[in-house]
Every structure is written in C-alpha cells, then in structure tokens.
Amino acid sequence: MNISDACIVMNERVISKAFAKINLTLDVLGKRADGYHDIETVMQSVSLFDLVIIDKTAAKGIRITTNIRSLPCNEKNIAYKAAALFFEETGAPGGVKMLFHKNIPIGAGLAGGSADGAAVLVSMNRLFGNPLSDERLLELGARIGADVPFCIRCGAAVARGIGEKLSPAPHMPGIPLLIVKPKISISTAEMYEALDDVIITKRPDTGRMLEALRSAAAENVAAELCNVMEPPACEKYPVIGEIKKKMLSCGALGAAMTGSGSAVFGIFASKRSADAAVSHFSGDFKNIYSVTTI
C-alpha cells in the first residue's frame, strides 16, 4: 500500500488521508556520533488518519489552516516543510492552500506530523503532474523526518538507521486495536535522553515478530510486542503503565506503548471486544480510538 492510493484528485484539489502508525517493536541500538540514535523497529499503519485537503493557488506561497489551535502553521510545521521542499525540488508554479483536519493526537508516538508531511509530498506530486518518482519522494521525506518515508509507503515495514531505512515486513491488515492516549504528550528527544541513562534489560526480537506476522495470528503478534522506551516512560509517567494494565484486564491479547509515547495500544481478538473496552477508558481519557491495522 502507498499513501497515493488514499489520494483523490479533483482538478486543482487533492484530498488525502494521512495514516497513523504504531510500533509493534522498537529497539534502540545506540547513540551515533551525530547525536541521533540507531533503531530497529517493526512499524504498522493503522486506520486512524488526519484528513488533508490541498488546493492549488495562482499566487505563490504556502497557507495552512487546521482544527488544532496549538499547531503551528508556519515553517515549524512538518507539512509546511514538505510543501516548501516540494516547490524547491520541482520549481512548480504558484502556491498551495492546505487544510488539515487532525484526528491523530499530538505527542502520542503515532507519527501524526510525519503522516501529514508524507501526505503533502505525495498529494502535491499528484496535484502537479507527478514530476517526482516514488524513490525521490522517499528521499525527500527522509530529509524532513525519519518516519516520513514509512508514512509514504504505509502498510508494514522494518525500519533501521534513524528510521529511514525500510525493508518490507509481512502485511497483516485487519488486526483490531484500541489506542488510548493520556493527557501528557512526550517529546521523542525527552525519551531518548531518558533511555541513555538506563540499562535496557529486555529487547524485542525482530525475527520473531516477523514470523508472528507471517502466521497471520493476532495472538502471536501480541506475544512479541516490545518497546525499549516503555520502561523509562512508565517510570516517569505511571499513567502509561496504568493504561497498559487496564488494557490487558479488558481482554487485550497484548499491549505496548507506541514510539516514544505517550499512547498505548492493545491488540484484541475481535473488533467487538476492542469496541467493548472503550467504555472502560472513556471516563478518564479523551483520546480513545478503536481501529484496525491497514
């Protein structure tokens, strides 16, 4: 699957879905000389998405509007950076007006910003007559965010390096999930800093997770969930561990924090059981999503 499959082109407008991701596994292998960290992670797209509408404008410039007041609509926004990079790379005429209806919560480890940046690159490429190859779009995506190339491709993949080196993973769509995000938002830099000060005692096994995905059995995938950032995150923010514990008590086959947090997801045997678990969280949490892998 490619995010291009979720684009609808209508004359001077493109409407696209920008899909969130979860990390089925996440291992941090070490800190690099450039200050970044090498990782190995199995990532999976989910059906939670932001809606992105982009219109061509005769006048040059990039204008952004969004339903989230706190979200910057300037050069600090990864979607703005994506549009600016596209114009720089292609020399396309005119400008764009972009509307983002955000559903993916911010600071959750769900790659909402990266998904929006990916949608902008792919949508603008469609809008302006596909001047860039798929490979070039991936290269440009890596320049604005490590998760952007994955968000362009969607589906399932193993990501290495800082997250930009992708290799295919077995695709298992339709796994029911419940995602719960607490009020706290965690920056990726904060969690990497915390991880540098702890000894990692349990690491994921990428090979076993890939075998679990090949088996097409949700319980096998659930058994291999592992995120090395989860223990320090739970120590600093106990609510993350509390959500995970409740998720399991509500019937989840397995649960884990995604990315650098703060969202926790649980894998369920059926969509009905995932939907039934929503009521156990709705009194305490606002951001609750019953979704599936795609």
Residues annotated as catalytic (active site), given as ranges: 21, 147
Backbone angles phi, psi at 21, to 5 degrees: -130, 160
Tokens of 51: 């809606």
DSSP of 226-269: EETTHHHHHHH-HHHHHHHHHHHHTT-SEEEE-TTSS-EEEE-S
Cβ(229)–Cβ(28) below 8 Å? yes
Cβ(209)–Cβ(221) below 8 Å? yes
DSSP of 111-131: -HHHHHHHHHHHHHHHHTT--
